[in-house]
A and B are shown apart, each in its own frame.
Chain A
Amino acid sequence: MSADPAIIADAPPVEIRGLSKWYGAFKALDRVDLTIGPAERLVICGPSGSGKSTLIRTINALEGFQEGEIRVDGLRLTREPRVVRAVRLRVGMVFQSFNLFPHMTVLDNCALPLRRVRGLAVGPARERAMAYLEKVRIPEQAAKYPAQLSGGQQQRVAIARALAMEPQLMLLDEPTSALDPEMVKEVLDTMVALAADGMTMAVVTHEMGFARRFATRVIFMDQGRIVEAGTPEAVFGAPKEERTRAFLRQVLREG
């Protein structure tokens, strides 16, 4: 792959330039520029409908885009299936609704992608899947089906499933929003442990206290644009934009 001319050596995990996306006539992303550096922990916040999901879903080609360019590890994202697959191998994704495969056990959820996508044999795939279930501290649930687990446990399995593919970068779209309050902490703790391992992460979240402790950088989005970016202290402590302030007032009142 390193001989591929589309790849730039020593490129940051994600580099986005002038990205715009329309759903029909509606502009969901408006000239977004964003670079995510190695081991960076980016938190994306902003009101509902501001384009946070759309932004991170364009990074692993779950959504297309019309203008601009995205590079993942220097590899320029095109529609070419080979490129899309190469990008998806570098990017792990965790969804708000877990999206575990309900017809297979927890272990198979993690092992099947290793076999079908990474080409591992059954034994090594199970071993590696088990190692990552241990990492999220639920190896004892391996033989169960997702429906037998609590929401927090399911989300940790989803994280293990993405991690087992050994991506360069993890995208998490509101990973705790579908959880009962008492389960939020176990998932946040899992993310903190990941961060300690040096994983590059982009997280959409409304957990402001967590974001403050966790993020190396915060971006605030509104109407498809990045309105404000900076350290958590800067964005949460002294927001420059009125829209950011209005959003923070609302989130803090609710939270």
Chain B
Amino acid sequence: MSVADNIDYPPLLRRPAVFLSGVGVLFLLLLRADAAHWAPVHGLFGALALTGLEAGPANGLAAALVAALIGLNVWVITGLKTRWQMWIVWLELAALVAVLFVSFDLSYAFIRRKLWILISIGLVNTLLISACSIVLAFVLALAGAIAKLSGNGIALGIANFYTSLFRGIPLLMQIYLIYLGLPQVGIVVDAIPAGIAALSLCYGAYMTEIFRGGIESIPRGQWEAARALGFKPGDTLFRIILPQAMRVIIPPTGNQFIAMLKDSSLVSVVGVWELMYLARTQGQAEFRHIEMMITASVIYWAFSIALEMVQARIERRFGRDHVR
């Protein structure tokens, strides 16, 4: 599986020429960037109990120490198995981001005070809107793809117009059109349904093309075998073609859903108290914008990771037939 398995010289990063010049370049960059004055570096020295240096180490010394630590870290990691390498690097980068956030000097008391309202109203609305939109977009995309492949002129016309319109105008505009435009013709829609409608129509249009491509990637012989056996069209599609097309469809669809989770914040323009809206407004009163933004970001990120994990599971399930 790993590319490095059958190469008998050391991994790229462990070759002296690469490793030493890498650390050297790192040192020079840190020196130029005045590493000694970065808050995380202070924190690092504090953690290492180099109290004397904490106040302000010589820039050269700081740069050398940081470069050496990073070098050591890389050296140790390159000795591990690929799986472990991946997880450790992931966690280290996450820790770096965390250090960055922490160094902003946040008011945790403020976050604790506001967290419940962010979750109980903001997150709940965000998840409600996203979950409904995901399901509806999936259905729309499937219908759109079938229409585009049907060879029926009317279905084709509707599907082509649909994808053209909803991919062609900004999502923000679609939300306004549905919430403010439809009442003009006598159809009044509440803010949350309007947001769900706009999100699902927009993402359904993008995903129509993903589904169409996935279905088209299945060889004609599969359709023919199913037809020759006497399968009805619905069975052919849902039992034979789609389960195979899913392998092609799922990765870009997962992408779309993760993007949609965050685009659901646009629904705040019609007054829905979703996560982003609350983060913005709650921070405003006490000038604690950063606290709320970071909290909201962490929540979005956590749910994106959850979606990634769901995607990986589904991919494994539909990848079964690829054992050789």
Question: In the bound complex, do residue B324 and residue A113 qualify as a contact, i.e. CB atoms below 8 Å apart?
Answer: no
Whether the pair B228, A117 counts as a contact (CB closer than 8 A) is no
Cβ-based interface call for B316 (8 A): no
Shortest Cβ gap from B294 to chain A (Å): 44
In the assembled complex, the Cα of A97 lies from the Cα of B228 at a distance in Å of 14
Q: B221 — nearest CB in chain A belongs to which residue?
A: A99
Per a CB cutoff under 8 Å, which of A62, A147, A165 touches B224?
A62
State in angstroms the CA–CA spacing of A92 and B227 once bound together: 11
Find chain A residues with CB under 8 A from B320 CB. Answer: 103, 145
Least distance between B218 CB and chain A CB atoms (Å): 10
- Partner of B231 from the list A100, A102, A113, A148 (CB cut-off 8 Å) is A113
Partner of A147, one of B235, B244, B318, B322: B322
Whole-angstrom distance from the CB of A143 to the nearest CB of chain B? 12
Q: In the complex, which residues 211-261 of chain B have their Cβ closer than 8 Å to any Cβ of chain A?
A: 219, 221-222, 224-232, 235, 239-240, 243-244
Residue pair A116, B239 in contact (C-beta under 8 Å) = yes
Complex alpha-carbon distance, A145 and B243, angstroms: 15
* Chain B residue nearest in CB terms to A113: B229
Give A97 to B239 CA distance when docked, in angstroms.
20
Q: What are the residues of chain A within 8 A of B240 when measuring CB–CB?
A: 101
The tally of residues in A whose CB lies under 8 Å from a CB in B reads: 28
**Is there an interface contact between A162 and B323, defined as CB atoms closer than 8 Å?**
no
| Interface residue A85 (Cβ < 8 Å from any Cβ of B) | yes
**Would you give the 0/1 interface string for A81-92, flagging 1 where the beta carbon is closer than 8 Å to chain B?**
000010011011
Complex formed: what's the CA distance from A21 to B196 in Å?
51
A152-163 contact mask (Cβ, 8 Å, vs B): 1 or 0: 000000100110
32-59 of chain A: CB within 8 A of chain B: none
Contact B324–A88 (Cβ < 8 Å): no
Q: Are B321 and A99 in contact (CB under 8 A)?
A: no
CA distance A89 to B227 in the complex (A): 10
Residues of A within 8 Å of B231, CB to CB, are 113, 116-117
Interface core residue of B226, B228, B229, B239 (most chain A CB under 10 Å):
B229
Q: Roughly how many angstroms separate A100 CA and B221 CA in the complex, as a whole number?
A: 9
Flag if B228 contacts A62 (CB, 8 Å): yes
| Interface SS of chain B | helix
CA distance A148 to B224 in the complex (A): 22
A151 to B219, alpha carbons, bound, how many Å?
Answer: 18
Out of B222, B225, B230, B321, which one reaches A89, CB within 8 Å? Answer: B230
Whether B229 pairs with A165 at a CB distance below 8 angstroms is: yes
Q: Hey, which chain B residues are within 8 Å of A85, CB to CB? A: 230, 232
Complex Cα distance, B225 from A101, in Å, reads: 9
Q: Contact between B225 and A112 (Cβ–Cβ < 8 Å)?
A: no
User: Contact between B230 and A88 (Cβ–Cβ < 8 Å)?
Assistant: yes
- Which residues of B lie under 8 Å from residue A20 when comparing CB positions? none
A161 to B227: give the CA distance in the assembly, Å.
Answer: 13
Query: A93 contacts B239, CB within 8 Å?
Result: no
Question: In the assembled complex, which residues on chain A have CB atoms less than 8 Å from the CB atom of B228?
Answer: 60, 62, 88, 91-93, 162
Chain A minimum-CB-distance residue to B242: A103
- Report if A161-B229 is in contact (Cβ < 8 Å); known contacts: A99-B222, A101-B222: yes
Contacts of B322 in A (CB 8 A): 147
Within the complex, what minimum Cβ distance (angstroms) separates B225 from chain A? 4
B239, A147: Cβ atoms closer than 8 Å: no
With a cutoff of 8 Å between Cβ atoms, the chain A residues found around residue B227 in the complex are 62, 88
For the complex, give the distance between the alpha carbons of A124 and B232 in Å. 21
In the complex, which residues of chain B have a beta carbon less than 8 angstroms from the beta carbon of A97? Answer: 221
Tell me, in angstroms, the Cα distance from A101 to B226 when the chains sit together.
Answer: 9
Report yes or no: A99 in contact with B323, Cβ–Cβ below 8 A. no
Q: How far is the CA of A147 from the CA of B319 in the complex (A)?
A: 12
Q: Is the CB of A95 closer than 8 A to any CB of chain B? A: yes
Report which of A91, A95, A103, A161 forms a contact with B321, defined as CB distance below 8 A: A103
- Contact partners of B323 in chain A: CB under 8 A: 145, 147-148
Cα A132 to Cα B322 with chains together (Å):
25
CA distance A92 to B322 in the complex (A): 27
A165 contact set on B, CB distance < 8 A = 229-230
**CB-nearest residue of chain A to B247:** A103
Q: In the bound complex, what is the Cα–Cα distance between A161 and B244 (angstroms)?
A: 19
B-contacting residues of A (Cβ < 8 Å)? 60, 62, 85, 88-89, 91-93, 95, 97, 99-104, 112-113, 116-117, 145-148, 158, 161-162, 165
Apart from A117-B235, A148-B324, 15 more pairs, CB < 8 Å: A85-B232, A88-B227, A88-B230, A93-B228, A93-B229, A95-B221, A95-B224, A99-B224, A99-B225, A102-B321, A103-B243, A116-B239, A117-B230, A146-B321, A147-B322
